[in-house]
Structure 1
Amino acid sequence: MIKSWKVLPLAWITMIGMILSAQAQGLKKVTLEDVFKKGRFNQKSVYGINWMKDGQYYSSLVQRSGTSTVVKINLATGEEAGVLLDGRALGVNFSSYSFNADESKALIATDVEPIYRRSSKGVFYVVDMASGQKQELMNGEKISYATLSPDNDKAAFVKENNLYLVELATNKLTQITTDGAWNKVINGAADWVYEEEFSMAQAFKWSPDGKKIAFLRFDETQVPEFNMQTWGPLYPQDYKFKYPKAGEKNALVSIHVYDLSSGKTQKIDAGNETDIYLPRIYWTKDANQLAFIRMNRLQNQLDLFHADATTGESKLIISETSKTYVDLDYNDDLQYLSDGKTFIRTSEQDGFKHIYHHNMDGSLIRQITSGNWEVSSMLGIDERAKKLYFISTEASPLERNFYVINLDGKGKKLLTPAKGTHTINMSSDYKFFIDYYSTTETPVKVTLNDAAGKEIKVLEDNQILREQLAGFALGKKEFFSFPTVDGTELNGYILKPADFDPTKKYPVLMYVYGGPGSQNVLNSWGGARDFWHQQLAAEGIIVACVDNRGTGGKGRDFKHSTYANLGKLETIDQIEGAKYFAKMPFVDASRIGIWGWSYGGYMSSLALMKGNEVFKTAIAVAPVTTWRYYDTIYTERYLQTPQLNASGYDDNSPITHVNMLKGNFLLIHGTGDDNVHFQNSVDLVNALIAADKQFETFYYPNRNHGISGGNTTWHLYTMMTDFLKRKL
């Protein structure tokens, strides 16, 4: 990683420019059509991996002749050993599949319809693997989260906010809950805010023996309703859903356990306080012992409980508190060991996310990992060999590598030495893993490896894409770090045109997200957005990015530094970044712009207003413009409630700073955004009009937060490109 920019002699600069220019000659420039119409830079991957119980095979979902097929792969050779599910023979073109514990049955889904970010409903079938016969659940009506029982003979699912159970042998249907109703009560599925901010949609789990089902119940009755109009019919339609904005009432959430043998449902004791969060439920190795996490409204206390599933009685096991907040994402790797006596969890209580081993009463056995780096995720525990597998930032906060360590904290070993980003799928017997590896310059390479890291077979190397890339004049991301005025080191990258001439002056467009725990500066392959940046570079615009304070990969203190004042330090850091670029000899300091989406749109708006002396142009896509309009869980985690911290909400709202707007501003939003509501942009527009500020704006009818569908993406990026050509 480049630590700082060094001034080179002019002759060297000129020579470097000539070499780069010569290298770029004869190569094609990236165009918008290449990225968004022709999909020339779309990479392939390997999907639907399922490790088979015999330890000799894994299965994978592939498309053959336009039909879904699940094939079996030999782990020793990496070669295909047969077809397990044939969509053509079944008469179903399914999009997902799963097996039950003994692999005698498969569950497949088709005609899946997304609801919000993680929720969906579709038509589900259970396939008997021996006979090949399929059984349609709920007579083909659309249902959600169908899940086979561990004892192989039942399935549970959610339909219209109620939880159901079906016995596969007899097709007997049991409706477990009856009070589910739209915008009132949800059983077994998450409400909008839990789904978005706690990354969950399914909210029920089978007990290990298949005799009980634990589920969450959401009473949304008192949650304020948000109304979005859907445009298209003669009269626009109202879409109303429960959305708790900061400071408003949340759903009342409770945990229940349904006993299949008695048909009775037991409520679990989660304490007397009702204004809480219950974001996770787990089963321990004891089929009658449930575990759950409880958090207070401000999310500065996280409690782990164990509960008797029959009586509902619960006991506090671990309580973790913070002066800022306890991040659920950093405490979400809870695994109970088969001895029934201990469990493993993660926490950032020492300043970095690490792995801890506890007795069942919560007492600490040991901290397994330690150091000034983060465990990104815990992948599994080989109890027989007493080894634990995890991904971490130890090599660099810009990278993710795969490690193994003994449960006693000794013998740590790096399994993926190649620099870049590794995403791992480990086999259930811990003998093999699949490595999805990429860098900024190389698309994903998928390999099958043994537990020691030795490559067995390349499953996908994107060779066709690699060959195609060789025909394009592409800029290279250069990583660097620099100190801000207060000495804080920030990571960044810069993308120059392939024919970069160091004697010229270039405009710079900074790309920002900047939200808590996020990272844009990573040594990994980008998607279409990265290749849009390549297209801009081909047009002579340098693209750069800086991860400000509050972002991830550098420990708790760096991430929590923005607590109670979102937008303040982040904006200072983006302005510092712009000033840093402005001093470079090849940068035109009068033409520095910034763009971002969502939190990034919030940041780009603030940066243009508060940093009007360095930023001349900004694009804000689907921005938050006041945190008063965003949801409870996310916003209050970082800002407390508006009632407790009004200045934290208002001091760094773009609406508050419209009088400072001097440059070129393009504001874009989808009217059907269920996440960051169009209301944010409407209020910012009103404030800009009142301040007599000229700007450009565009809305996309009925489009959600992703602003996509049909010709939308092409239209959006064409418009943004044209704006940057005119204004930057």
Structure 2
Amino acid sequence: MRQTFTIGLILIATILQAQNWRLGFMGWLDDQHYLERRADEKDAKKIVLLKVNAKTGSTSPYEANSPRKEVQKKIPKEFQLSWRAPHTKDFKQVILTKDNNLYLFEKATGEVRQLTKHEDLEENPTFSPNNAYIAFTRKGNLYTLHLESGKETPLTTDGSDKVYNGWASWVYYEEILGRSSYYKAFWWSPDSKQIAYLRFDDSPVPVFPIYRSTGVHGELETMHYPKVGDPNPLVALGICNITTNKTVWVDTDKNIDQYIAWPFWTKDSKQLLFQKMPRDQNKIELLLANPQNGSTKRIYEESRPTWVDFFKDIYMLEDNSGFILRSYQNDWYNLYYYDLNGKLKTTITDVPWRINSIKKVDEAKQIVYFEGTGTINTDMHLFSVNLDGSNLKQLTKGKGEHIAMLSPQQSYFVDRYSSISKAPSRVLYDINGKEIRTIVQSQTPEFDPTLHHKMELFRVPSTDGKFDLPVVWTLPSNFDKKKKYPVVFRIYGGPDAGGIKDAWRGWNGNNLTDMGIIVVSVAHRGSGKFGKKGLDYMHRNLGKWEMEDYFAVVNWLKKQPFVDTNRMGITGSSYGGYLSALALTYGADYFTHGIANLSVMDWQLYDNVYTERYMDTYQQNEKGYQQGSVLSHVDKYKGKLLITHGLMDDNVHVQNSIQLIDKMQDAGKEFEMMFYPNERHGWGGPKGKHARKLKESFWKRAFFEE
């Protein structure tokens, strides 16, 4: 009866909190006005939408006309407007897809016009900056289509099942361009007259088989997947003039095993800035390419004894005076201003803490706005600094996470602020950091130990004393220091993964704390919280220092009288699954139970770009590979491990879990496993529900029934 009552109160509190989240700042309409949701003065259950004058606070009713919703209402029923549907900024034109073909929706007329008629799917349709064309890929070739005339033009013709123009090879998609690219590997010039694109040839790359068990005979799927030491795809950078349809190939040495990626056009479209690094990934070069003849000029170079990363957020200045680089030159991400000849104009910032991103550059006023942690590495703040490096200011105040939403011309910003013990608020400030008004203030619920799961942020020193590791734990409701509680580490733990923030998550806990388990998260030295000096510990040592830092936290926990040292669990997926399996083998003296999901078990079995970045090749670092392999430590295993994996995982192949299972069986070790047929690297639906129940059952049996 008490439990039902408690759940009811928590549910009511959750509903009220959700109602509160519906209120408040909804976005900027222009530099002087923002949109706000408020409860109607006459009927508190009714929500009204208001246009608010930032300076005076005066309001007027606002009719929300979402362009996307307008389009959705007008398009014929046989079309679906997906969230990825390409559109002009004003939504006057939208690209729709049906039966593998592209259609153009004109908002003004409500008409839908078919653009392509082909049996093969068109991928990543993208408007040119002037909205006159779209570009897309089809079956390994790159095309443009003139929207007014409907004329389709192939820019390449050699595409095949191994050659892709403007479409990324898998390892580039996964590790270099990123999943958000959706394999897109072409970039319009600002003047809409040229397209830069990458051409991939997967001929040298080994093929990996993936088995689909559906049907009587099953089906074999193959993919070009380069593992450690394997040949890479051959890559070339081309620039196509869409008037002549001729490609100029950028001058890069095709005989060198290197990576080429992340081009940025200069604002006048006369030059293309691109990046290359050798396979060792310990040096990066920025080069300017001439679209007329493909010649290049190197303007920047950076190297480290460990590894470097591609610059994915270079800011090209509108006046063509140069670019802003966010680089680890001084072991922390800082901002540097270079001209297009590679001359350093200004070290914009030189701070011993992490700068996360550039929010906005006001070129007229020569001011850069950026987000960074400040001196507390679990915080987040908005800063401003002059382009010449002077007048660095922190604009948000107070410990915790501040997410700033700048007005279009940077006259104001709204600060979405919270901390681990303070519910979120939204406060309006002028650009100098002067508070104007509180838009919404969520009331932090009074903590009730009989109802709530308390979350706390604290720090534990690493064993070598060099780092104070951020730790967050969530304590069960009715927490009693006189009792003994099991612990579960929830981790990901990959290089530069971050993970610990001083931000509100509420008192409502999770499925593990509901069972009476203390849940712990840790940011180890290689999490990015400690800059490049912390990250560099991971070089040639994946697994080692993550484990050492987790061991330090385990040792600290064991000193707490309410922690049951015989029930020390850990769980994670992908890299977190790797560390969970490693914790039950290499770390068997510290961890007793674990769930390893879709995990790398031996780094020789993962892709070469990611693995060699940190580990070098197996031939260069045999000791590191052996030390970091879960397979090497099976003899130490003595706890209870559940292994789960999707049988069609095309990222971390199920081969990883199968090889561990093989070793465990031969060593006579007891464990549990669950494979999910036809599932990839993570899954939802019925099998996702099955996996959640399976894991809950594992912890209940392991901690409370045995």
Question: TM class, shorter-chain normalised?
Answer: 0.7 to 0.9
Larger mean Cα displacement after TM superposition, 138-147 or 711-720: 138-147
2:613 to 637, 642, 647: 637
Residue 369 of structure 1 pairs with residue 370 of structure 2: no
| Aligned residue in 1 for 2:94 | 107
SS of the residue corresponding to residue 643 of structure 1 reads coil
Asked if the contact 1:513–1:596 (Cα under 8 Å) also holds between the matched residues in 2, the reply is yes
Cα deviations across residues 656-676 of structure 1 (Å, max 9, x unaligned)? 100100111111111111111
Residue 264 of structure 1 pairs with residue 269 of structure 2: no
Q: Which has the higher contact order (CA 8 A, sep 6+)?
A: 1
Cα deviations across residues 83-133 of structure 1 (Å, max 9, x unaligned)? 4341111234413355547x484334567xxxxxxxxx9765444344343
Q: Specify whether residues 656 and 99 from structure 1 end up closer, same or farther in structure 2 by C-alpha distance, changes over 3 A only.
A: same
Shift of 1:511: 1.6
Q: Output the CA distance in 2 between the equivalents of 1:675 and 1:480.
A: 35
Pairwise mapping of residues 391-406 of structure 1 onto structure 2 (< 5 A)?
Answer: 391-406=371-386
1:207 to 189, 195, 200: 189
Q: Specify whether residues 202 and 421 from structure 1 end up closer, same or farther in structure 2 by C-alpha distance, changes over 3 A only.
A: farther
Q: Specify whether residues 243 and 308 from structure 1 end up closer, same or farther in structure 2 by C-alpha distance, changes over 3 A only.
A: same
Q: Specify whether residues 583 and 470 from structure 1 end up closer, same or farther in structure 2 by C-alpha distance, changes over 3 A only.
A: closer
Asked if the contact 2:225–2:607 (Cα under 8 Å) also holds between the matched residues in 1, the reply is yes
Q: Specify whether residues 136 and 472 from structure 1 end up closer, same or farther in structure 2 by C-alpha distance, changes over 3 A only.
A: farther
Pairwise mapping of residues 466-545 of structure 1 onto structure 2 (< 5 A)?
Answer: 473-488=451-466, 489-524=468-503, 534-545=510-521
Q: Output the CA distance in 2 between the equivalents of 1:592 and 1:42.
A: 38
Larger mean Cα displacement after TM superposition, 89-98 or 289-298: 89-98
Residue 585 of structure 1 pairs with residue 561 of structure 2: yes
Unaligned runs of 5+ in 2: 37-48
| Aligned residue in 2 for 1:604 | 580
Amino acid at match of 2:334: H
Q: Specify whether residues 238 and 268 from structure 1 end up closer, same or farther in structure 2 by C-alpha distance, changes over 3 A only.
A: same
| Aligned residue in 2 for 1:653 | 629
Residue 335 of structure 1 pairs with residue 315 of structure 2: yes
Asked if the contact 2:191–2:268 (Cα under 8 Å) also holds between the matched residues in 1, the reply is no
Amino acid at match of 1:89: K
Asked if the contact 2:201–2:234 (Cα under 8 Å) also holds between the matched residues in 1, the reply is yes
Shift of 1:219: 0.7
Amino acid at match of 1:355: L
Q: Output the CA distance in 2 between the equivalents of 1:575 and 1:30.
A: 38
SS of the residue corresponding to residue 582 of structure 2 reads helix
Residue 228 of structure 1 pairs with residue 207 of structure 2: no
Cα deviations across residues 540-598 of structure 1 (Å, max 9, x unaligned)? 11111222221112210001111111111111221221111011011111221111111
Shift of 1:353: 0.3
2:67 to 63, 84, 89: 84
Larger mean Cα displacement after TM superposition, 287-296 or 480-489: 480-489
Cα deviations across residues 321-348 of structure 1 (Å, max 9, x unaligned)? 00000122xx332122122222111100
Q: Output the CA distance in 2 between the equivalents of 1:380 and 1:188.
A: 29
1:554 to 524, 530, 533: 530
Asked if the contact 2:94–2:106 (Cα under 8 Å) also holds between the matched residues in 1, the reply is no
Q: Output the CA distance in 1 between the equivalents of 2:106 and 2:413.
A: 28
1:274 to 249, 256, 267: 256
Percent of residue pairs bearing the same amino acid type: 35
RMSD, aligned α-carbons: 3.6
Residue 350 of structure 1 pairs with residue 337 of structure 2: no
| Aligned residue in 1 for 2:174 | 196
| Aligned residue in 1 for 2:42 | none
Asked if the contact 2:371–2:383 (Cα under 8 Å) also holds between the matched residues in 1, the reply is yes
Asked if the contact 1:352–1:372 (Cα under 8 Å) also holds between the matched residues in 2, the reply is yes
Amino acid at match of 1:567: G
Shift of 1:724: 1.1
| Aligned residue in 2 for 1:116 | none
Q: Output the CA distance in 2 between the equivalents of 1:339 and 1:25.
A: 64
Q: Output the CA distance in 1 between the equivalents of 2:335 and 2:483.
A: 50
Residue 715 of structure 1 pairs with residue 690 of structure 2: yes
Shift of 1:387: 0.8
Pairwise mapping of residues 81-480 of structure 1 onto structure 2 (< 5 A)?
Answer: 82-85=65-68, 86=70, 87-91=72-76, 92-96=79-83, 99-100=87-88, 103=90, 105-109=92-96, 124-139=102-117, 142-182=121-161, 184-198=162-176, 199=178, 200=181, 201-271=183-253, 273-328=255-310, 331-417=311-397, 419-424=399-404, 426=406, 429-431=409-411, 439-440=419-420, 451=431, 473-480=451-458
| Aligned residue in 2 for 1:572 | 548
Q: Output the CA distance in 2 between the equivalents of 1:50 and 1:126.
A: 29
Shift of 1:469: 12
| Aligned length in residues | 670
| Aligned residue in 2 for 1:68 | none
Asked if the contact 1:402–1:414 (Cα under 8 Å) also holds between the matched residues in 2, the reply is yes
Q: Specify whether residues 412 and 537 from structure 1 end up closer, same or farther in structure 2 by C-alpha distance, changes over 3 A only.
A: same
Q: Specify whether residues 307 and 366 from structure 1 end up closer, same or farther in structure 2 by C-alpha distance, changes over 3 A only.
A: same
Q: Specify whether residues 696 and 83 from structure 1 end up closer, same or farther in structure 2 by C-alpha distance, changes over 3 A only.
A: closer
Shift of 1:151: 2.2
Amino acid at match of 2:356: S
Q: Specify whether residues 74 and 678 from structure 1 end up closer, same or farther in structure 2 by C-alpha distance, changes over 3 A only.
A: farther
SS of the residue corresponding to residue 644 of structure 2 reads strand
Amino acid at match of 1:321: S
Q: Specify whether residues 166 and 458 from structure 1 end up closer, same or farther in structure 2 by C-alpha distance, changes over 3 A only.
A: farther
Asked if the contact 2:450–2:478 (Cα under 8 Å) also holds between the matched residues in 1, the reply is no
SS of the residue corresponding to residue 146 of structure 1 reads strand
Q: Output the CA distance in 2 between the equivalents of 1:572 and 1:357.
A: 38
Q: Output the CA distance in 2 between the equivalents of 1:441 and 1:125.
A: 50
SS of the residue corresponding to residue 371 of structure 2 reads strand
Q: Output the CA distance in 1 between the equivalents of 2:20 and 2:228.
A: 39
Q: Specify whether residues 314 and 425 from structure 1 end up closer, same or farther in structure 2 by C-alpha distance, changes over 3 A only.
A: farther
SS of the residue corresponding to residue 551 of structure 1 reads coil
Asked if the contact 1:214–1:257 (Cα under 8 Å) also holds between the matched residues in 2, the reply is yes
SS of the residue corresponding to residue 659 of structure 1 reads helix
Asked if the contact 1:667–1:681 (Cα under 8 Å) also holds between the matched residues in 2, the reply is yes
Shift of 1:145: 1.8
Q: Specify whether residues 454 and 153 from structure 1 end up closer, same or farther in structure 2 by C-alpha distance, changes over 3 A only.
A: farther
Shift of 1:286: 2.5
SS of the residue corresponding to residue 299 of structure 1 reads coil
Q: Output the CA distance in 2 between the equivalents of 1:471 and 1:122.
A: 56
Amino acid at match of 2:166: G
Amino acid at match of 1:281: P
Amino acid at match of 2:386: N
Larger mean Cα displacement after TM superposition, 348-357 or 365-374: 365-374
Asked if the contact 1:669–1:699 (Cα under 8 Å) also holds between the matched residues in 2, the reply is yes
Asked if the contact 1:74–1:80 (Cα under 8 Å) also holds between the matched residues in 2, the reply is no
Amino acid at match of 2:228: A
| Aligned residue in 2 for 1:690 | 666
Amino acid at match of 1:637: R
Asked if the contact 1:156–1:163 (Cα under 8 Å) also holds between the matched residues in 2, the reply is yes
User: Given the two structures, how large is their TM-score scaled by the length of structure 2?
Assistant: 0.86
Pairwise mapping of residues 669-680 of structure 1 onto structure 2 (< 5 A)?
Answer: 669-680=645-656
Cα deviations across residues 630-681 of structure 1 (Å, max 9, x unaligned)? 1111100000011211221112211010010011111111111111110000
Q: Specify whether residues 393 and 189 from structure 1 end up closer, same or farther in structure 2 by C-alpha distance, changes over 3 A only.
A: same
